Structure 1
């Protein structure tokens, strides 16, 4: 298969779209990890639950947009309740206890979803307004819904940057990420900030779950694989950094998408097709970890660490 320009451009756009959805997950995760020093493996489960909430609310209301808003609200409330009732008890525990407890939450969420929604994957129908592709330039058509995801992801990134950099809440968040003990000494109500962070992070998970769930299947366990990528993003970008989360997410999204689409085609040009078909996906799946190792070799604290 030849590597024509439109094929490359399409996959770059797909990578941007996937990277921006990764950013929505990684933004909440990096702030929780950076400020609270808390490892929350159940973050991906909120992404899954948000997608299931969206499927339910869209079916009940008949409106994609109303279903999206209700899903964000419900998932944010669930995240806040989870923080106040369970996760708050784990803050002073060691990281191993946090990993074990939040891994248990993954299993509980997965079984809970199976009990409520069943084992069959659900589908989310995109709004009729996005039924037709958009011609970006002569002869090149691209999914209007994927284009909307890119625009929506950029809009959320700009909004988060404004909140973190220009508002009092953002000042408290940055203070907590830079020096948590000093923030507490200066009178910051750190418990309220923690709860709000979990709610915002859960709401962003719901946005990502709804938008990606419209492209992929909504199914049990969908949060685990994307959670691994989200952790890769925050390690590359720098723990506690929103800017790092955005840059890391875009890097991971583009590298992952391009490697999966282009690498098999490149390998088929230089080796037997059967061998290339088996080696290509395997190499593509490890490239983002090679990227992470390379970044950490030169920048051990990530590209834009919040501390220091």
Structure 2
């Protein structure tokens, strides 16, 4: 394979991994700190994409649409947490799964009623519509580079918030011992609401940016929810650093395997069999990666506790 083509696929894997990180970061905070399994996390990603497409169409500006989508999705997250999810915190995980699965169906049907069944297009901003020459003769999408930069910036921001701020200290206290933090005067309900709103805002960022590459459509959240769960299991539930490393691993492995495996298989078997077998094997490699990590480190690469 040509070295420039391999470099392009590595960048694509990095971009996909950082988008997974935006989803997995909010998911691992909710799951690891609030001990809540939220299957509707992907629905917030879908909602953010629809909001971004709608607001961009109304305002004519991708950037204004993105900011409005982040704010609107955060509000949806707050309303959802205060009205439904807060009642489920002290119930078992099976109740979480059943309730949030019902929310997936509600979100999908609501989106179909409001926006219709046909996919929406979310155009990239004109400023980032032209490719950039990274190496002599090698051009890469400036918008994908912007996605990579955004993912890295969010990772740095999350680190500063969780490690260096008072809010991060309260979040860590609530994660370590919820009852003790409450006894010391911490309003855990408010902290958890802010945490959920922040996770919803990250979903909106991911939805708006990926919605510009893919189609904005009903059910788009379910297809990316499973890789997001794989990321937090690999990285360690509740760990931001683990979510970042796990997302990069999953993104690069998934992208390269879908490119390299069919090519490698064609060298040892008939092309028609290789064309069918390659994508099938590539689709399960991230789960093989997860199984391998859990075999050696059952709590993930960077467990939040211990």
TM-score by length of 1: 0.98
1:232–1:289 CA contact under 8 A, matched in 2 = yes
| Cα distance per residue 1:109-144 (max 9 Å; x no partner) | 000000000000011100111121101011111011
Question: Unmatched 5+ residue regions in structure 2?
Answer: none
* Aligned counterpart, 1:71: 69
Q: Which residue of the other structure, out of 176, 183, 201, is the alignment partner of 1:203?
A: 201
* Aligned counterpart, 1:307: 305
Matches within 5 A, 1:5-44: 5-44=3-42
For these two proteins, the number of residue pairs brought into alignment is 306
| Cα distance per residue 1:271-305 (max 9 Å; x no partner) | 11101000000100000000000110111111111
* Aligned counterpart, 1:144: 142
* Aligned counterpart, 2:60: 62
1:15–1:250 CA contact under 8 A, matched in 2 = yes
CA distance in 2, matches of 1:26, 1:261: 24
Question: Unmatched 5+ residue regions in structure 1?
Answer: none
Q: Alpha-carbon deviation of 1:180?
A: 3.0
RMSD across aligned C-alpha pairs, in angstroms? 0.9
Matches within 5 A, 1:236-255: 236-255=234-253
TM-score by length of 2: 0.98
* Aligned counterpart, 1:294: 292
* Aligned counterpart, 1:178: 176
1:133–1:142 CA contact under 8 A, matched in 2 = yes
1:35–1:180 CA contact under 8 A, matched in 2 = no
Structure 1 segments, 4+ long, off by >6 Å, are: none
Q: Alpha-carbon deviation of 1:92?
A: 1.1
CA distance in 1, matches of 2:6, 2:135: 14
1:31–1:177 CA contact under 8 A, matched in 2 = no
CA distance in 1, matches of 2:100, 2:19: 22
1:58–1:67 CA contact under 8 A, matched in 2 = yes
CA distance in 2, matches of 1:233, 1:134: 30
| SS of alignment partner, residue 107 of structure 1 | helix
Q: Which residue of the other structure, out of 209, 218, 222, is the alignment partner of 2:216?
A: 218
